[in-house]
A and B are shown apart, each in its own frame.
Chain A
Amino acid sequence: GQQLNQSPQSMFIQEGEDVSMNCTSSSIFNTWLWYKQDPGEGPVLLIALYKAGELTSNGRLTAQFGITRKDSFLNISASIPSDVGIYFCAGLNYGGSQGNLIFGKGTKLSVKP
């Protein structure tokens, strides 16, 4: 089945630094999503990307849908302590709400004040 390779697995950074993480796949997706999960909570949607090449921002977060539709990256600028958590990328097999999400293994972000 489809799999997503998400990297890095974990990051330890200083407050104020920028962060970059990415996901790649051997097959294409119609939609890429980025979620953040805090301990003991469900994932919260950060950014949704629907078109190849699309670059979307949400505050300090920026994500891009790769031209090949096989990859996506998420950047966080000027990190703050509350950015700590696990970030998951997810690909949607086909458009529409009935599609199944395929999740990456997550990037655990730690921010040192």
Chain B
Amino acid sequence: GAVVSQHPSWVICKSGTSVKIECRSLDFQATTMFWYRQFPKQSLMLMATSNEGSKATYEQGVEKDKFLINHASLTLSTLTVTSAHPEDSSFYICSASRETQYFGPGTRLLVL
């Protein structure tokens, strides 16, 4: 149990376009999901906390208008990177809470 999926697993896009990443808890319900970003050879950095039915809580320095989060149901949270730029290229990982945090497999974003 406690399986979390992400889609897509990787995406390449042109600068200025928007990209949506989905995070699903497959076998449990999660009122809270988290979005992280990880740059090469670095640790995970929390971007925002996504709560079902309410606004996400963003960490300091993370632009909420650039990284739109929607937690529409107890099993789905989406992260949309709006007007993506090359510096947004990174590995984005979500987690869902069930006693503790279980992570998805990550989405690698490359912005050209």
Query: Are B108 and A106 in contact, with the CB atoms below 8 A?
Result: no
Q: B75 to chain A: which residues have CB within 8 Å?
A: none
Given the contacts A104-B43, A105-B42, A97 and B100 also touching, CB distance less than 8 Å: yes
Q: Which residue of A lies closest to B5 (CB)?
A: A42
A101 contacts chain B at the CB level, 8 A cutoff: yes
B32 contacts chain A at the CB level, 8 A cutoff: yes
Provide the bound-state CA to CA distance between A33 and B44, in Å. 14
Binary interface encoding of chain B residues 75-103 relative to chain A, with 1 for a CB under 8 A from any of its CBs, else 0: 00000000000000001010101111111
From A40, A41, A88, A97, contact of B44 by CB (8 A) = A88
Query: Are B93 and A42 in contact, with the CB atoms below 8 A?
Result: yes
Given the contacts A88-B44, A104-B43, A97 and B105 also touching, CB distance less than 8 Å: no
Q: A40 to chain B: which residues have CB within 8 Å?
A: 91, 106, 108
From A31, A43, A48, A98, contact of B103 by CB (8 A) = A43
Q: A31 to chain B: which residues have CB within 8 Å?
A: 100
Q: Which residue of B lies closest to A88 (CB)?
A: B43
Query: Are B43 and A103 in contact, with the CB atoms below 8 A?
Result: yes
What 10 pairs between A and B have smallest CB-CB spacing? A97-B97, A42-B103, A103-B43, A42-B106, A42-B105, A43-B103, A42-B93, A105-B43, A103-B44, A42-B104
Knowing that A92-B100, A103-B45 touch, tell me 18 more A-B residue pairs with CB under 8 angstroms: A35-B103, A40-B108, A42-B93, A42-B104, A42-B106, A43-B44, A43-B93, A44-B103, A45-B102, A48-B100, A88-B44, A97-B98, A98-B49, A100-B49, A101-B101, A105-B42, A105-B43, A106-B43
26 A-B residue pairs with Cβ-Cβ distance under 8 Å, sorted by A, are: A31-B100, A33-B100, A33-B101, A40-B91, A40-B106, A41-B105, A41-B106, A42-B93, A42-B106, A43-B103, A44-B103, A45-B100, A45-B101, A48-B99, A88-B43, A97-B32, A97-B97, A97-B98, A97-B101, A98-B32, A98-B49, A98-B97, A100-B34, A100-B46, A101-B46, A104-B43
